[in-house]
């Protein structure tokens, strides 16, 4: 079956999380918003416990945690939900980085239809945006800045700490998509200054279909988000729909596990990265790493194998390694990566690019064997692609 190396798309669920969800399905099957019986009370307590676990991992108060269906919904809510406030206060300027997840880019773009101005900043070839250039773009009418913590394609950590520090004394709201860093860069996230943060459970070995939007209080007030969907008053009126008790329980358990094990998990990921780099050197294939490793996560690498089509390699070696060449949200049709394009890389280099990502469950011995096989396949493709 090979080795799974696409953790940035979705991490394998931890079986301890599965166990917690089975318990919830069996014992907490009531509606958490039912107020007239113990079944509803028990379900509500399970959700409250999960909310506390998320808050404990992030380092916020539990009333600042709002459950969503995932980071995509959280991104939409954080950006589109600011529309009414922007109208009322005549602040219709938004800044985003050009390497954000499509959920951020397309949400911001949708506001252009309502007269908002969206300005974009691209990184250099290091994969990291320049915080000073971004801060120079701030205007009196700048409503929102949105920058991801870790890029999902390159693993490059963005300077959200410096941006957050600078914006904390202004009236501009700051949103961070922390999907790829939550449960990994735990201490870093706890030290960040921001107004809104999007996270998703399935990138940290939790269940798919559940995430959260963190809304930080400033002067005792939450960010002025308005609901963008209607039909109920769940999550204090911010998003409708019956709360999925089992999914929230699983999310909470994943947060508990991450808090306890994140340090050793990062050490394991560093060992995996060392293996990948050693095998690349031993292969004698010519390659380039996309993005500065000075700022890169230990769980990710984006490489271009010269004169080897990434599409051909992925199809020819999928029995050995499960890898990708970009976000799973945009991979149904093959197009050149907009992230690597924003970094200014050549078309040929992008055609050869591979995203490889792993996690705490990655067997290092299997990784060594299977990734070596992938590189052998790559050598066979070297002279067949023009």
Digit-coded pLDDT (tens) for 210-242: 999 999 999 899 999 999 898 888 988 899 999
User: CA 201 to CA 18: how far, in whole Å?
Assistant: 13
Residues annotated as catalytic (active site), given as ranges:
329
pLDDT of the chain, 386 residues: tens digit per residue: 799 999 999 999 999 999 999 999 999 999 888 889 988 989 999 999 999 999 999 999 999 999 999 999 999 999 999 999 999 999 999 999 999 999 999 999 999 999 999 999 999 999 999 999 999 999 999 999 999 999 999 999 999 999 999 999 999 999 999 999 999 999 999 999 999 999 999 999 999 999 999 999 998 999 999 998 988 889 888 999 999 999 999 999 999 999 999 999 999 999 999 999 999 999 999 999 999 999 999 999 999 999 999 999 999 999 999 999 865 555 556 689 999 999 999 999 999 999 999 999 999 999 999 999 999 999 999 865 55
What does the block give as tokens for 223?
Answer: 């960010």
C-beta neighbour count of 275 within 10 angstroms: 17
Q: Could you state, in order of their start, the residue ranges of all structural domains in the chain?
A: 3-11+263-381, 15-256
Residue 198 per-residue DSSP state:
E
Q: How crowded is the C-beta side of 360, counted as CA atoms within 13 Å?
A: 18
- Spatial separation of the C-alpha atoms in residues 65 and 178, rounded to whole Å: 14
Residues 6+ apart with CB under 8 A from 285: 305, 306, 308, 375, 378, 379, 382
- The correct answer on CATH 3.20.20.210 for the domain covering 15-256 is no
Cα–Cα distance for residue pair 150/153, rounded to 1 Å? 9
Q: What tens digit of pLDDT does each residue of 116-136 get? A: 999 999 999 999 999 999 999
Handedness of CA 218, 221, 225, 229 (dihedral sign): positive
Query: What distance in Å separates the CA atoms of residue 184 and residue 264, rounded to the nearest whole number?
Result: 10
Q: Would you say 129 and 121 are in contact if contact means Cβ atoms under 8 Å apart?
A: yes
What are the tokens at 79? Answer: 């950006």
Q: At what angle do helices 71-80 and 102-110 cross, to 10 degrees?
A: 30
Say what the pTM is.
0.95
Give the whole-angstrom CA distance, residue 34 versus residue 186.
34
3-11+263-381 to CATH, choices 3.40.50.2300, 3.40.50.720, 3.30.1540.10, 3.90.1150.10:
3.90.1150.10
Q: 88: Cβ–Cβ under 8 A, 6 or more apart, which residues?
A: none
Q: CA angle 85-102-247, nearest 5°? A: 85
């Amino acid at each position: 079956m090979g080795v799974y190396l696409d953790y940035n798309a979705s991490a394998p669920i931890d079986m301890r999380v599965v166990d917690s969800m089975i318990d919830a399905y069996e014992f907490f099957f009531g509606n958490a918003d039912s107020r007239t019986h113990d079944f509803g009370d028990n379900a509500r307590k399970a959700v409250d416990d999960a909310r506390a676990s998320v808050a404990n991992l992030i380092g916020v108060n539990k009333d600042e945690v709002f459950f969503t269906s995932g980071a995509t919904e959280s991104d939409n809510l954080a950006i589109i939900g600011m529309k009414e406030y922007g109208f009322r206060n005549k602040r219709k300027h938004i800044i985003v980085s050009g390497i954000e997840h499509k959920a951020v880019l397309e949400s911001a773009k949708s506001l252009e239809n309502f007269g908002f101005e969206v300005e974009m900043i691209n990184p250099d070839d290091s994969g990291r945006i320049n915080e000073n250039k971004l801060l120079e773009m701030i205007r009196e009418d700048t409503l929102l800045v949105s920058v991801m913590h870790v890029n999902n394609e390159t693993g490059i950590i963005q300077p959200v700490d410096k941006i957050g520090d600078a914006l904390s004394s202004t009236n501009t709201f700051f949103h961070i998509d922390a999907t790829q860093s939550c449960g990994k860069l735990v201490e870093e996230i706890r030290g960040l200054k921001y107004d809104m943060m999007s996270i998703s459970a399935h990138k940290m070995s939790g269940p798919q279909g559940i995430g959260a939007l963190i809304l930080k209080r400033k002067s005792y007030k939450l960010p002025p988000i308005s609901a963008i969907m209607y039909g109920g008053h769940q999550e204090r009126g911010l998003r409708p729909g019956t709360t999925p008790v089992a999914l929230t329980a699983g999310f909470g358990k994943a947060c508990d596990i991450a808090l306890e094990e994140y340090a050793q998990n990062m050490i394991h990921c560093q060992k995996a990265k060392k293996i990948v780099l050693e095998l690349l050197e031993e292969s004698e294939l010519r390659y380039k790493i996309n993005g500065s490793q000075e700022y890169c996560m230990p769980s990710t690498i984006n490489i271009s194998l010269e004169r080897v089509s990434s599409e051909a390699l992925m199809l020819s070696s999928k029995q050995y390694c499960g890898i990708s060449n970009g976000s799973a949200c945009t991979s149904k049709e093959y197009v050149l990566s907009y992230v690597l394009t924003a970094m200014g890389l050549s078309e040929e280099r992008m055609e050869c690019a591979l995203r490889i990502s792993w996690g705490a469950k990655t067997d290092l011995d299997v990784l060594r064997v299977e990734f070596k096989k992938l590189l052998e396949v790559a050598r066979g493709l070297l002279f067949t692609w023009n």
